[in-house]
Amino acid sequence: MDWNELGVSVAKVAPVLGAALGGPVGAIAGAAGTLISSFLGVEPEPQVVAKALQDPNILLKLKQLEVEQQSQLLAWQRAQLDAELLNVQDARAREVALAKAGYGGAWVTGGIALVVICGFFWMLNIVVSTPDVSEPALLLLGSLGTAFGAVVNYYLGSSLGSYRKDKVVNGESSGR
């Protein structure tokens, strides 16, 4: 078990605290884990904290901790959102720089995206038109569906990410 897995459990009771635990920035997840373990009086290890959280009374206390530490948790959540945004910006900036430099390989990303999109719709057509669909075909469709979502997110951006970032910037709590 790691902090990310534990974040899913904590988010049910304390959504902002759970988001800090389950976010993409390891240092922030570790800091949130240390905050929880210190509050519970246990070692700052995900397994130890998970064991302590099996007590329902402790879960109620986590909500109290979230309220007390809300400004710090929101700052951590903003740092995580900034890291996600920077990652997307870097990928797109790379693409633009390659295209401006006239690098012949700049089309590779678009080519891969085209293969994923065509593959997704081709596999979707097979699954929909075949009466007895095999499990491997469904698994392939699921994988292509995930890749399709990543391609759309890369080229069109994530409105959900923008929405969450706007809420944090405006000082609102994230209910996931």
**CB contact set of 144 (below 8 Å; sequence gap of 6+):** 116, 119, 120, 123
**CB contact set of 129 (below 8 Å; sequence gap of 6+):** none
User: What is residue 75's predicted lDDT score, i.e. its pLDDT?
Assistant: 74
Percent of the chain with pLDDT over 70: 68
Task: Mark whether 44 and 95 lie in a shared domain.
Answer: no
- Asked whether residue 25 is assigned to any structural domain, the reply reads yes
User: What is residue 44's predicted lDDT score, i.e. its pLDDT?
Assistant: 77
Domain range enclosing 126: 86-164
Could you say which of 80, 104, 127 is where a domain stops?
A: 80
Averaging pLDDT over each range in 41-45, 106-110, 162-166, which range is the top one? Answer: 41-45
Task: Mark whether 7 and 63 lie in a shared domain.
Answer: yes
The total number of structural domains in the chain stands at: 2
